[in-house]
Amino acid sequence: MSQNKQRLSWLEMLKVNQRAYLLFYKRYPRMILSRFALIIWKALTPYVGIYFSALIIEELAGAKNPGRIRFLVLLTLFLIAAGSLVTALLEKWKNVQSAGMWLKIKKILSEKLFETDYVNLNETKNMELYSAICQNHNSAGWGLYRTLEDCEALCQTVIVILGGASLTLSLFTSQVPESAGKYTILNNPLFVILIALIMLAVTCISPVLAGKAGRYLTSLADIHNLGNRMFSYYGHLGYDTKKAADMRIYRQDKICEKYNLNKESTFGSRGVFARYQKGPVGFYLAGASAVSGIFTGIAYVFVCLKAWAGAFGLGAVTRYVASITRVYGGISTLITTMEDMRSNAAFLNMVFEFLDIPDHMYQGSLTVEKRNDRKYEVEFRNVSFQYPGSQEYALKDVNIKFEIGKKLAVVGMNGSGKTTFIKLLCRLYDPTEGEILLNGIDIRKYNYREYMTIFSVVFQDFKLFSLPLGENVAARTNYDRELVTEALEKAGFKQRLAKMPHGLSTCLYKEYTESGVSISGGEAQKIAIARALYKNAPFIILDEPTASLDPVAEAEIYEKFAEIVGDRTAIYISHRLSSCKFCDKIAVFHHGTIVQTGTHQSLLTDQTGIYHTLWQAQAQYYT
C-alpha cells in the first residue's frame, strides 16, 4: 500500500480529479447541482453585507441623512434576511441530495465488487487495495469524497478571490491628495507594487506551511490505516460473541489490550501521530496561523494609512479590510486546496486502479437458449486449470459429458479437484486449457449473467444472511411465499418452519434483531438446499449437501433426492460413497483428473481402482 505515498504531477492531479468528479456527476447529477448552487451562493452573499455596511458607515461619517440611513439599514437587513432564507433552502436541498454520502461512495465500490470476475476476489492485492481505499476514506475522507470537497472549495475560492479583488482594486489605485505631504508616497506605483507583492508573499507562506504539515500527515496514511485496522480488530474483540468463549478461557483480552492500548501504538500518547504533532506538524501549523496574523496587521496598516492621508472615507476602511482579508483567505485556501488535491490524487488513483481491474467474464454475448425441456448438454473437453498464482494443476485434462436429466456423483479424496470442477462449470473461473461446451458452444461465448441462471448450487461453504428466512431462500425481497414454503418442505425444514415465530418473515441470526433465531449447521444446510430448489434452474449442484445433517435428516434427503431433483440434471459431490449409489453415473477424481467413471456396482468390480479403495476404507466402519 505504498501507493499512498506516490505524489503525482499537477497535470495527473487535474486529470484524476476531473475523472472522479465526472463519475459523481454521472451518477448523482442533482447532488452535484445542489452542492454547487450552495457554494456559489455562499461565496457571493457576504459581499452584500460588506458593500452595504460600507455605504451606511460612509453616510454616518458624511452627510448623515436620516432618511437615507434608514433606507440603507432596512435594505441591508432585508437583503441579509432574504439571503439567509435562500441559504437555508439551498442547504436543505444539498443535505437531502447528499444524504448517505458514504453509502453513495460505497455503492460505486460495491458494484465493482459484486460485478467483478470471481477470480479477481481471490487476488490478495485486489482485496488489499479495496481495504486501503476504505481505510483512506474512513481516516480522513481521502479518495472520492475528498474530490467533492476539494473541487467545491476550489470553485468557491475562485469566486471569493474574484469578488474580493473587484472590491479591493480601488484600494491600490485610490490617490492620496497632494496636501498629504510625505504620505503621497502611497501614490507611488513602485511602493504600491511593493506592498502588493509583500501581501501576496505573506499570503502564500501560510498555506505552504499548512501544506507541509498536511504532507507529513498524508505520509502517515499507511501507518494510520494499519493502526485503524488493528484498532478495528483488537478493539472490537470483546464485542465478537463468537470469540467470547475462547477469550475468557485463555484471557486473551490481556494480549489484545497490549496491542490496542499501548502508548507507543499508532494513536497512543507516545505514538507517531503524537510525536509529529509535538514536532514538525505542530511547528508548521503554528507558523501558518502566525503568518495569517502578520497579513492582517499589514492590511490594517496600509488601509488605515491611506484613509488617514485622505485617499478615502471611513466607510471604505471596513470594506477594504473585509474584502482584502477575504482575498487573502481565498488565495490561502486556493493554494491549500490545490495541495490537498495533489495529495488526494494518489488516493484517487488507488480508487481507479480498483474500478479499472479488468473483467473478462462479460465478453460473451450469445443468448442461452431458454428450453422448457431443460435439455442442456454440457461437455468438458481436455480441461485443465491452475488457480491464479499457483504452479500446480488443480484439474488436468478433464473430459466428461453430462447426460441430460441424469444424476452424476463426483467423488474423490480431499483436494482431488471436485469443487474446482464445479467452479469451472459455473464459470467462477475459466479453464487454463481446453473448453467447456454448453449445447456444443464454448461457454465463454454466452452472456455471462444468462449463463449463471441455469445453475443452482449449494456450495460446501454456503452462506446465509442475517435476513428473513423467506428472503434467504428466494434471494430476493419479493418472493412467492407458497413456492418458498414448498422448497423448505422438500429440503426437510417443515417442522422447524412451523416453530419459526414469524414464519418466513423470521429473521435468521440475532445480529440485527432481538427476535432473530439462531439455527444449527444442519438447519442452515436445509435452508441452503431450499434456496437451490427455489431457483428452479435446470442444473442442480450439491457439494457435500448432507455434511452437517443428522442421520435421520440425511436419510430423508437421500430418500427424497429423486423428488427434490425432479427432471433436472444433478451433480452431487459427496465423501459418503453409500449415498452415491442412487446416482446414474459416478466420476472418480484423483489428483485433478477423472480416473474412473461408471455406476456404483461397476466401479466396485475394479478392485485396483480408487473407488474400491475409498469404499473399503469407509465400509469397514459400517460393517
Residues that bind ligand ATP (CB under 6 A): 122, 387, 390, 394, 412, 414-420, 460
Helix (H, G, I), strand (E, B) or coil at 541: strand
Helix (H, G, I), strand (E, B) or coil at 594: strand
Three cell numbers written together for 512:
440485527
CB of 283 to ligand ATP, least distance (A): 50
**543 vs 554, which CB is nearer to ligand ATP?**
543
**84 vs 460, which CB is nearer to ligand ATP?**
460
Q: Which helix (H) or strand (E) holds 354?
A: helix 314-355
**292 vs 419, which CB is nearer to ligand ATP?**
419
Specify the long-range contacts of residues 231-234, CB closer than 8 Å, at least 24 apart: 231/260, 231/267, 234/259, 234/260
CB of 462 to ligand ATP, least distance (A): 13
Cell numbers 453513495 correspond to what residue? 104
CB of 587 to ligand ATP, least distance (A): 12
CA-atom Rg of the chain in angstroms = 36
Dihedral pair phi/psi, residue 381, rounded to 5°: -120, 110
Cell numbers 427434490 correspond to what residue? 564
**For the packed helices 221-235 and 189-219, what is the interaxial angle rounded to 10 degrees?**
40
CB of 575 to ligand ATP, least distance (A): 7
CB of 391 to ligand ATP, least distance (A): 10
Name the residue type at position 252.
Answer: Q
**121 vs 475, which CB is nearer to ligand ATP?**
121
**212 vs 575, which CB is nearer to ligand ATP?**
575
**497 vs 594, which CB is nearer to ligand ATP?**
594
CB of 326 to ligand ATP, least distance (A): 59
**116 vs 147, which CB is nearer to ligand ATP?**
116
**29 vs 415, which CB is nearer to ligand ATP?**
415
**Contact residues for 45 (Cβ-Cβ < 8 A; gap 6+):** 83, 87
**Helix, strand, coil share (%) of the chain residues, nearest 5:** 65, 10, 25
b/e sequence 361-384, b meaning 16+ C-beta within 10 Å: beebeeebeeeeebebebebeebb
CB of 408 to ligand ATP, least distance (A): 15
**238 vs 388, which CB is nearer to ligand ATP?**
388
Task: State how far the alpha carbon of 577 is from the alpha carbons of 315, 410, 492, in Å.
Answer: 97, 10, 22
- In the 3-class helix/strand/coil scheme, how is 18-58 assigned residue by residue? HHHHHHHHHHCHHHHHHHHHHHHHHHHCHHHHHHHHHHHHH
**195 vs 394, which CB is nearer to ligand ATP?**
394
Helix (H, G, I), strand (E, B) or coil at 590: strand
CA distance 262 to 550: 48
Helix (H, G, I), strand (E, B) or coil at 311: coil
CB of 101 to ligand ATP, least distance (A): 35
CB of 602 to ligand ATP, least distance (A): 22
**For the packed helices 10-27 and 29-44, what is the interaxial angle rounded to 10 degrees?**
120
Task: State how far the alpha carbon of 397 is from the alpha carbons of 386, 430, 493, 544, in Å.
Answer: 11, 14, 40, 24
CB of 574 to ligand ATP, least distance (A): 10
Name the residue type at position 484.
Answer: V
CB of 392 to ligand ATP, least distance (A): 6
**163 vs 412, which CB is nearer to ligand ATP?**
412
